[in-house]
Amino acid sequence: MSEAALREQICLLARSMFDRGLTGGSTGNISARTQDGGLLVSPTGTSFGRLDPGRLSRFDARGTHIAGDKPTKEMPLHSAFYDTRSTAGAVVHLHSCHSVALSMLPDVDPDNFLPPLTPYGIMKLGKVKLLPFFLPGDPAMGEAVRGLAGKRTAVMLANHGPVVAGKDIEAACNAIEELEDTARLALLTQGLNPRGLTGDQVQELVSKFDVEWDA
């Protein structure tokens, strides 16, 4: 994909998520690899609903900011995924309501944040790691992701929002939407003793779709 087309796609997908209420105001950030190994990144303080393709922050393959507006303050978080996951072609971070609400509940498993309610939550995300609360922009968030040594495609920042890496921008956006949908299902069915997937069903999915699961 050409850089011009990638710029348009980033803004189109970001706008779609904003319009559907997956992140609001000037929250969230998004980035994608360019063909030359650089990055396009949403600028700091911008809204997903109003990103300008021509003003996206542009980094070269060495990680130097070479054009566009000042990047998001969450760059250490994005860089951590790119540096530890060779397959990462895009990273998306949202402040999506239901996943944040689920992160506040006391009985959530920090090693496997999402309950096994649907096959696609497992297929698109694997196990989601719940990380502790960090101040926005704290480089320690990036260090926490690096500490996972590339073994997770998605993390949940407690009281903050999910972060997902994908092979490309469309895959990353699809996966983070699946994370939010699963969190919403978990909240809707809380206390109702929902019939989730069995351990055997989960393992069958993991095996059939080559899901990173045991990390």
Catalytic residues: 74, 120
pLDDT (tens digit, 9 = 90+) per residue, 20-36? 999 999 999 999 999 99
* CATH architecture designation of domain 3-208: 3-Layer(aba) Sandwich (3.40)
Q: Which helix (H) or strand (E) holds 177?
A: helix 169-188
* Per-residue pLDDT, 59: 98
Q: Is the pLDDT of residue 74 over 80?
A: yes
214 pLDDT exceeds 80? Answer: no
Residue of 181, 182, 140, 134 whose CA lies nearest to 160:
134
> What average pLDDT score do residues 58-85 get?
97
Arithmetic mean of pLDDT, 83-90: 96
How do the domains of the chain map onto residue ranges? 3-208
Give the pTM.
0.96
Asked whether the beta carbons of 174 and 166 are under 8 A apart, the reply is yes
Pick the closest to residue 51 from 97, 89, 104, 92 (CA basis). 92
User: Does the pLDDT at position 215 exceed 70?
Assistant: no
